[in-house]
Amino acid sequence: MASTPSNLPCHVAVIMDGNGRWAKERGLPRTEGHRAGAEKIRAIVEECNRLGIRYLTLYAFSAENWRRPQNEIRALMALLEFFLKRETSDLARNGVRLQAIGRLHNLPESCQRQLHASMEATAGGTGLTLVLALSYGGREEIVDGIKSLFRHIQEGHADIAMLDPEFFSKHLYTRYYPDPDLLIRTSGEMRLSNFLLWQLSYAEIVITRKFWPDFGQEDLHAALEEFASRQRRFGGV
């Protein structure tokens, strides 16, 4: 078993990129890449839980992904539902609490039902909190946060004078979680892709050229060691 890296982040966020290219390199349909990527999630969740990381947020389906071909979207939604049904009992047994962020009402009703059932079944978990970003977009989240803030002002529950970054954060999807300390992106791409735009302001970023289905526990450890080697000054000296 690999040793535990020092100075662990509290919250790790991952852009799980490269499933389609992984499949293309092997002459397989894109759906097989997504299936392989879903299988990889289990090992990474288990290792983060073992290490004592408190939060893991996975970019599972973006707001922009709705633009993909309908057959691919249907396959992804079916895979999500299958993954939740299969993994919920193990998550609960291992103390992992499942949560989700995004415009969840856009998901198919069957996925919504399974997602809520899985979250309820794991609500008592005291180990890792696994957050799935589904139908999620960072800009959309900020817009929804502004709408929420305006409603509170109109209803007399808030005043514009109260507005500062901390207060606004309470109107975001992620209001119950700390901001990520570390962002990992697979496949070598050097962009945020509309992911946690507000929350990643001071996150350390580690990019690996490996496609997500090839990302293993040793790669997670390497990213954590890289994080531990960084000096985080948050704008100070």
Domain spans in the chain, listed from the N-terminal domain onward = 11-138+179-228
Asked if pLDDT for residue 230 goes beyond 80, the answer is: yes
Span of 15-24, 82-91, 157-166 with lowest mean pLDDT: 157-166
Instruction: Give the tokens for residue 176.
Output: 């119950």
Rounded Cα–Cα distance for residues 103 and 166 (Å): 22
8-state DSSP, 159: -
Residues 195-217 have a mean pLDDT of 97
The Cα–Cα gap between 79 and 73 comes to: 10
| 8-state DSSP, 67 | G
49 assigned to active site: no
Task: Report how far residue 237's alpha carbon sits from residue 226's, in angstroms, rounded to the nearest whole number.
Answer: 20
Band of pLDDT at residue 35, cut at 50, 70 and 90: very high
176 contact partners, CB below 8 Å, separation of at least 6? 99
Q: How does pLDDT run across 134-191, given as a tens digit for each residue?
A: 999 999 999 999 999 999 999 998 888 989 999 999 999 999 999 999 999 999 999 9
> Which pTM value belongs to this model?
0.94
Cα 1 to chain center, whole Å? 25
Q: 11-138+179-228 domain in CATH 3.40.1180.10?
A: yes
- The pLDDT value recorded for residue 3 is 57
- Phi/psi at 119 (5° precision): -65, -40
Strands 11-15, 182-185: parallel, antiparallel or unpaired by DSSP? parallel
Which has more pLDDT, 237 or 177?
177
- Separation CA 54–CA 113 (nearest Å): 26
214 is annotated as an active-site residue: no
Question: Per the residue annotation, which of 7, 49, 65, 181 is the catalytic one?
Answer: 65
- Amino acid 4: pLDDT: 64
Q: Could you say which of 7, 17, 164, 194 is catalytic?
A: 17
State the average pLDDT for the chain. Answer: 95
- pLDDT (tens digit, 9 = 90+) per residue, 37-63? 999 999 999 999 999 999 999 999 999
Strand segments, DSSP code E, in 20-128 are 55-62, 97-101
Q: What is the structure's pLDDT at 158?
A: 87
- Per-residue confidence (pLDDT) for residue 105, from 0 to 100: 97
The answer to whether 153 and 122 have CB atoms below 8 angstroms apart is no
Q: Which of 24, 47, 46, 44 is nearest to 34 (CA)?
A: 24
pLDDT band at residue 1 under the 50/70/90 scheme: very low
**Band of residue 2 on the pLDDT scale cut at 50, 70, 90:** low
Q: Would you give the DSSP letter of residue 191?
A: S
